[in-house]
Amino acid sequence: MNHIAIKWTVFLALILCLTSAVTATELYIPEIKAKPGDIVGIPVKIDLVDNLAGIKLVLKYDSDVLAFKNAKKTRETSPLMHIVNDKKPGTLVVVMAGAKGINGKDFSIVVLDFYVKKDLKDKKTGKIEITEVQLMNDQLKDIKCDIKVSPLVILSDGSEKSVSAQVPEKAEEVKPAAEISEKKEVLSEQKAENTAVQPAVKDSGGDLKKDSEKPEPSAKPADSATPSK
C-alpha cells in the first residue's frame, strides 16, 4: 500500500509541474517586418496574466538601425501610470504601476514606435532585446515569466510589404518627460507675450477712438466778390 501511495504522490507532483510549466506567463515580441525609412510599431505582448499591477522593462536595441520615436499604452494597460526613459540611445526603460491589478490574455503591454534608418547596406535585422523584466501583482509579489523576442526583419526595396503592429484605437501615447517640460515652457512664454500685447492693443484702440471724436474742420468761407464800380 505504501509503495502504491508513493507512486501516486510522484505522479500527481509531475502533473502539477507540467501544468505550471504550460501555463507560465510569457512576455514576447512577435516578428515584425519593415523597410528602411518606415516608422514601425513593435508591441511588447504577454500571453496570460492575472492581477498585474507593476511592470518594469529594460530593452536594448540597435541604434545604428533604429531610432526610438515614442511609446503607446494600450486599452488593457490604460489604468496604469507610466514613465519612459529614452535618454540613452540604444536603451529604453519602461515602468508602469497601478493600485489595482489588470487581467488579460494575449494583449500588448506597450507598443514602441521606431524609425528604421535608411542606407542600412547589408543589414537584414534590427536587434531588440529585453534585458530585464519585473512583473508584480497588487500584493507586491513577483510574477514569474519567460521571455521570447523575435528580431525586426529589414526588408529590401521591392520585397514583400512591411508588417506593422496593430495599435488599438484607444492606445495612449506615452510622452517622454523632457518633451512635456519643453512644451510647458513654450506655452508659458506664449502666455506672457499675449499678456504684454493686450494693453498695447487697447491703447491703440483708444487713440483711434479719440481721433474719430475730433470735429472735422469747417470749410473756410469764400471771400465775397466786390462789385466793380
**Residue 222 DSSP label:** P
CATH number, span 23-172: 2.60.40.680
Closest listed residue to residue 162, CA positions, set 129, 221, 115: 115
Grid cell in block for residue 123 = 543589414
Helix (H, G, I), strand (E, B) or coil at 216: coil
Q: Report the length, in residues, of the chain.
A: 229
CA angle 21, 23, 26 (to 5 degrees): 90
Give whole-number Cα distances, 211 to 16, 98, 107, 207, in Å: 94, 65, 70, 6
pLDDT at 33: 92
Domains of the chain, by residue range, sit at 23-172
- Name, in order, each residue with C-beta under 8 angstroms of 108's C-beta and a sequence gap of 6 or more: 43, 44, 45, 74, 76, 77, 165, 168
CA distance 195 to 188: 11
pLDDT at 122: 74
pTM (global) more than 0.85: no
- Name, in order, each residue with C-beta under 8 angstroms of 191's C-beta and a sequence gap of 6 or more: none
Residues in the chain with pLDDT < 50? 14-22, 158-159, 164-171, 177, 180, 196-229
pLDDT at 44: 96
Whether 96 and 82 have beta carbons less than 8 Å apart is answered as yes
pLDDT at 146: 94
Whether 74 and 107 have beta carbons less than 8 Å apart is answered as yes
pLDDT at 182: 54
CA distance 87 to 60: 13
CA distance 186 to 182: 6
